[in-house]
Amino acid sequence: MSIFKKKKEENKWVKCKKCNETFYVEELKQNHWICPKCGNYFRISANNRIKITADEGSFKEFDKRITTKDPLEFVDLKPYKDRLKDAISKTKNKEAVVNGVCTIDGEPCVLSVMDFAFLGGSMGYATGEKLIRAVEKAMKLRIGLVIISSSGGARMQEGILSLIQMERVSAALTLLAKKGLPYISVLTDPTTGGVAASFSMLGDVILAEPNALIGFAGPRVIEQTIGKGLPEGFQRSEFLLEKGFIDVIVERKEMPKYIGKFLRYFSENVKK
């Protein structure tokens, strides 16, 4: 990378959609991608999420080459193959989830992080396969599993092959539970559709970032279906905590500490 390109990237500005203030990217990075003025949480890439969650230098990625093949040769406004190429170029990842072994707050675990920038974090066949392999890795190493979700749901371009991943991943998590190994689920904005309807809600502990959109169908779709408005804050983390769907809301900066605490607690009860 030339010095000119590097300087240009370092001076890149980003605008907060909530308060309309503009900040240097580097300033946001240092603040865990949280608006310094209004506290709005930016959606972040899987790679940036890993950097602020895993202990420095501990993340070792596996199954990096797994990617989707366009089994239905799907075309809408543009071919699915082209959409995949664009997503790979944009995120520098082959799929909507990144797997690795790492430590979080000193505790070993398998970490899987979904990336909303990759086709809306949608779950295709390869996404499901990578999540299942993360479960298998956790069982092989006898350590906990952490999945950080950020998704719009199942990937329509793969039809039933996408929908069946809900069942496949959920079944794999059942095997993990039978081994007595912990699964910590972290919900971020947004966690919706088939992901919210399956593995993201199956954690032994379910953590969520503040004000994250969490639910199956979006609020606008529900309002149009039932013909009336919804309660204030409906499908946000705070609403779900009140109704008992999640266990705790955790500030982004505190998330590694909380994950580590729960991993330590469960590790004491792992079947030998």
Does 100 lie in the same domain as 28? no
Does 93 lie in the same domain as 16? no
Does 150 lie in the same domain as 25? no
Q: Where residue 255 sits, what CATH number does that domain have?
A: 3.90.226.10
272 within domain boundaries = no
Does 118 lie in the same domain as 17? no
Residue among 168, 172, 217, 167 nearest 191 (CA)? 217
The neighbouring-strand residues paired with 79 are 75
Confidence class for position 270, pLDDT limits 50, 70, 90: low
208 within domain boundaries = yes
Does 218 lie in the same domain as 257? yes
Residue ranges making up the domain that contains 30: 1-42
Does 224 lie in the same domain as 193? yes
Does 162 lie in the same domain as 64? yes
Does 92 lie in the same domain as 14? no
Q: Does residue 69 register a pLDDT over 90?
A: no
- Summarize the confidence of residues 26-43 as an average pLDDT: 95
Confidence class for position 220, pLDDT limits 50, 70, 90: confident
Is cis: bond before 190, omega within 30 of 0? yes
The neighbouring-strand residues paired with 151 are 191
Does 136 lie in the same domain as 17? no
Residues 90-121 have pLDDT tens digits of 999 999 999 999 999 999 999 999 999 999 99
Which pLDDT value is given to residue 3? 45
Neighbour-count burial of 267, counting CB atoms closer than 10 A to its CB (0-12 exposed, 13-18 middle, 19+ buried): middle
- Summarize the confidence of residues 52-74 as an average pLDDT: 95
58 near 109, Cβ under 8 Å?
no
Half-sphere exposure of 243 (CA within 13 A, CB side): 12
135 within domain boundaries = yes
81 within domain boundaries = yes
User: For a pLDDT cut of 90, what percent of the chain falls above it?
Assistant: 87
Quote the CA–CA distance of 176 and 174 in Å, as a whole number. 5
Residue among 14, 10, 30, 11 nearest 22 (CA)? 14
Does 199 lie in the same domain as 85? yes
Does 151 lie in the same domain as 34? no
Residues 139-156 have pLDDT tens digits of 999 999 999 999 999 999
DSSP 197-210: TTGGG--SEEEE-T
Residues 223-264 have pLDDT tens digits of 899 999 888 889 999 999 999 999 999 999 999 999 999 999
Which pLDDT value is given to residue 204? 97
Confidence class for position 268, pLDDT limits 50, 70, 90: confident
Residues 158-205 have pLDDT tens digits of 999 999 999 999 999 999 999 999 999 999 999 999 999 999 999 999
The neighbouring-strand residues paired with 97 are 114
Distance of CA 133 to the CA centre of its chain: 16
The neighbouring-strand residues paired with 34 are 41
How many domains is the chain partitioned into structurally? 2
